[in-house]
Chain A
Amino acid sequence: EVQLVESGGGLVQPGGSLRLSCAASGFTFSSYDMHWVRQPTGRGLEWVASIGTAGNTDYPDSVKGRFTVSRENAKNSLYLQMNSLRDGDTAVYYCARGPMWYFYMDVWGKGTTVTVSS
């Protein structure tokens, strides 16, 4: 069964850091682009970061320079290092798989909640 399981969410103060992880199983992780998408409570979806099979990365301006996506294919794991966190980063963070050659998301994890508050 194809599965993505996020972890690492929690409560952090503004200006703090947090590292999210996503454990993948049931597919050849190294062959797929991977994405992070977030959703503030009661709001819509926002793309946060992507990493290709070659390790190439992309970010929206809202997180560029603060967030870093990485992957460790030997461990079938995806990561999101989040620094200089702000109140506006509070959201459920989803890990998602992207099919080869395309940037949509065909498999999603259940999400992990990040709360930025003093």
Chain B
Amino acid sequence: DIQMTQSPSTLSASVGDRVTITCRASQSIGNSLAWYQQKPGNAPKLLIYKASTLESGVPSRLSASGSGTEFTLTIISLQPDDFATYYCQRYDSYPLTFGGGTKVEIK
């Protein structure tokens, strides 16, 4: 099975910082990658699909890129609402797999 590895697992940052989260696939998955945000006690929320397409309503301070095996999610100016855990997910084929998550916490 294709494994998804996210880094870092935890990221400490301040409001206004630029942050980047990386997701690596053990084999090429094309652009079949989604990103989700999850806040404590809540369900995940779709942010990005097709590696770089923003879901409707997602603020433009978030961007994503990549293809093949390496992908990134960038928040260009971190806002209080962005402190959360972020997961990548490959969906090129079954079995579907998620990355281990990156918790973005307040420095």
Complex contacts, A44 vs chain B, CB 8 Å: 87, 98-101
Q: Which B residues have a C-beta under 8 Å from some C-beta of A?
A: 32, 34, 36, 38, 42-46, 49, 55, 87, 89, 91, 93-101
Cβ contact within 8 Å between A50 and B101? no
Give the CA-CA distance A42 to B25 in the complex, in Å.
23
| Chain A residues with CB below 8 A from B49, complex form | 99, 102, 104, 106
Find residues 83-113 in chain A having any chain B CB closer than 8 Å to their own CB: 94, 99, 102-111
Supposing A108-B43, A108-B44, A111-B43 touch, asked if A45 and B91 sit within 8 A by C-beta, the answer is: no
Which residues of chain A come closer than 8 Å to B45, judged between CB atoms?
A: 108
Q: Which residues of B are found within 8 Å of A106, using beta-carbon distances? A: 46, 49, 55
Question: Is the Cβ of B94 less than 8 Å from the Cβ of A58?
Answer: yes
Tell whether, in the assembled complex, residue A50 and residue B96 are in contact, meaning their CB atoms are under 8 Å apart.
Answer: yes
Q: Which residues of A contact B38 (CB under 8 A)?
A: 45
Chain A residues, Cβ within 8 Å of B34: 104-105
**A45 touching B55, Cβ below 8 Å:** no
Q: What secondary structure prevails in chain A residues at the interface with B?
A: loop
Q: Does A46 contact B (CB under 8 A)?
A: yes
Which bracket fits the contact residues of A? 20 to 34
CB-defined contacts of B32 to chain A, threshold 8 Å? 102-103
By beta carbon, the residue of chain B nearest A110 is: B43
Which residue of B36, B43, B95, B97 has the most chain A CB atoms within 10 A of its CB atom?
B43
Q: Which of B42, B44, B93, B94 meets A45, CB within 8 Å?
A: B44
Q: Can you list 15 A-B contacts (CB < 8 A)?
A: A35-B96, A44-B98, A44-B99, A45-B44, A45-B98, A47-B95, A58-B95, A60-B95, A102-B32, A102-B91, A103-B94, A104-B34, A106-B46, A106-B49, A110-B43
User: Which residue of chain A has the shortest Cβ distance to B9 in the bound complex?
Assistant: A44
